[in-house]
Amino acid sequence: MLPLQGVKVLEIGQNLAGPYASEILGMLGAEVVKIERPEGDDARGWGPPFHAGIACSFHAVNRNKRSIALDLKDKAAQAWLREFLRGQDIFVQNMRPGSLEAFGLGAEAVRALNPRLIYCSLHAFGAKGPMALKPGYEPIVQAFAGMFSVNGLAEAPPARVGMQVLDLGTGVWAALGCLAALQRRHHTGEGCTVDTSLFETGLGWMAQHVAGFNESGRQPPRHRTGNPKLIVFQAFDTADGEIVVAAANDRLFAKFAAVLGHPGWGSDPRFRTNADRIAHRDILLPLLEAAMRTRGSEAWSAALEAAGIPCSPIHDLAAVTAHPQTAALGIMQPMPGYGLEGVGLPVSFDGERPPVRQGAPALGEANAALGAPLPKPR
C-alpha cells in the first residue's frame, strides 16, 4: 500500500512547479486529477524532444495523473469544478496571480466550500508583499534571489544554475507542505492554506551564503566547481580529463596529501586546518593542480577511493544513466503506455520505490469518466 492511497488531489497547474508538486503526491499513491485549459498545459509543447507528440519535459512531471480539459470561463465548468472540489483533499495550483480568484476559485472561496481542503499555491515571489502579483519564470527568480551571483567562473559573468532547481524545488516544498497539512488535519479535522514560491525556495537554497554574508558583509566568490568555504572541494584537471575531489575536512586533506605524494602538506601550518587552507589558497591550489595533472583520471579515482577520499568523474547523461549504481537503485522506471523511461521518485519505503502507475495523460482523457463538461469549440 502506498502512503497516500485514498488521498484525492486536484491540480490546476502549468509548466513545472505545480505539476511536479502534484506528481510527487501521485507517486506516493494519491489520486491526481489535472485540470488543463482546452488547448492544454503549455508544457505539452516544450520541446523538442517529443515522445508520442508530447514534450518529454511534460512526461517527466505529469505521471500518475488523469487529465480534464476545462474552460474556466464557462459557468457550467466553474459549477462542476466547485462541486468536484467538495470531495477533494488537496488542491494544488500555480496559475498566474489573481486568475483563479477571478473565477471564484481563490483559497477563501474554495475552503468555504470544503473546510477540510488543503489549498496549496505555488507563487513566483510569494503570497504577500509588493511583488506578490508579479509573475516569474525560473531564470527571472534565480537572478532576483541572488543565485546567479554565486554561480559560474570567477572571471566570467554570473550564470544561472543549469536545471530548473527553483521550479522543482518549489514543487518539493509544496508537496512537503501538503503532507504536513494532512497530518495537522488528522488532529484538527480542518484543512489550511499552504503557500510557497520560487523566490522562497531560492532564498532557502542560498541560506549558507546569506549567513556568511550577514556576518562578513562580503559577496561570496564564484568558483566553477568549488566552494569558497572549503578546500579541498572541487574539480581538478588530470592527465586525461577531470575529476572532482571532496577532501572536505582536515583528516581527509591529510590523506589526500599523502595520496598525492606530499604527506607533509597535511601537517604544514599553512594547510593544517580548513581555515589555514582558505587563507593560503593561492599557494595551495596551484600545488594541488600540478600534482593532479601527473596521472590520469582512472588512476587517481582508484587511488583516492582506496584511501577513502570521496571523488567522482564528471559524468554526462549517457554515463550516469548507464552506470551500475543507477541500475542498482532501480530509479529509472518505464512510463506505462509509452516507450519512454524516466526518473522515479527519489525515496523508497521498506526498500521499495513507488512505481509509475500511469504515464502522462492525454489532454482531456478523463472528462467523460468524471462527468466534466467538454470545452466548447472555439
What pLDDT does residue 1 have?
86
Contacts of 67 (CB under 8 A, 6+ apart): 33, 34, 36, 361, 362, 363, 364, 365, 366
Check residue 153 and give its pLDDT: 85
**Cβ atoms 34, 22 nearer than 8 A:** yes
Q: Which residues are catalytic?
A: 167
Among 180, 70, 181, 174, residue whose Cα is nearest residue 117: 181
Give the angle subtended at the CA of 2 by the CAs of 67 and 35, to the nearest 5°: 15
pLDDT in tens, the chain (378 residues): 899 999 999 999 999 999 999 999 999 999 999 999 999 999 999 999 999 999 999 999 999 999 999 999 999 999 999 999 999 999 999 999 889 999 999 999 999 999 999 999 999 999 999 999 998 999 999 999 999 999 888 888 888 888 999 999 999 999 999 999 999 999 999 999 999 999 999 999 999 889 989 999 999 888 888 888 899 999 999 999 999 999 999 999 999 999 999 999 999 999 999 999 999 999 999 999 999 999 999 999 999 999 999 999 999 899 999 999 999 999 999 999 999 999 999 999 999 999 999 999 999 999 999 999 999 877
In sequence order, what DSSP letters do the residues of 34-87 get, joined into one string? EEE-TT--GGGG--SSEETTEEHHHHHH--SEEEEE--TTSHHHHHHHHHHHTT
Q: Alpha-carbon distance 55 to 47, whole Å?
A: 5
Q: Specify the pLDDT at position 191.
A: 97
Please tell me the predicted confidence (pLDDT) of residue 145. Answer: 94
pLDDT of residue 289: 96
- Compute the Cα dihedral for 151, 156, 157, 159 and give only its sign: negative
pLDDT value, residue 316? 87
Which pLDDT score, from 0 to 100, does residue 255 have? 97
Q: For residue 222, what pLDDT is reported?
A: 86
Overall pTM surpassing 0.75 (yes/no): yes
In the three-class reduction of DSSP (H, G, I as helix; E, B as strand; rest coil), residue 344 is classed as coil
Determine the pLDDT at residue 337.
94
pLDDT for res 112: 96
Burial of 109 (0-12, 13-18, 19+ CB in 10 A): middle
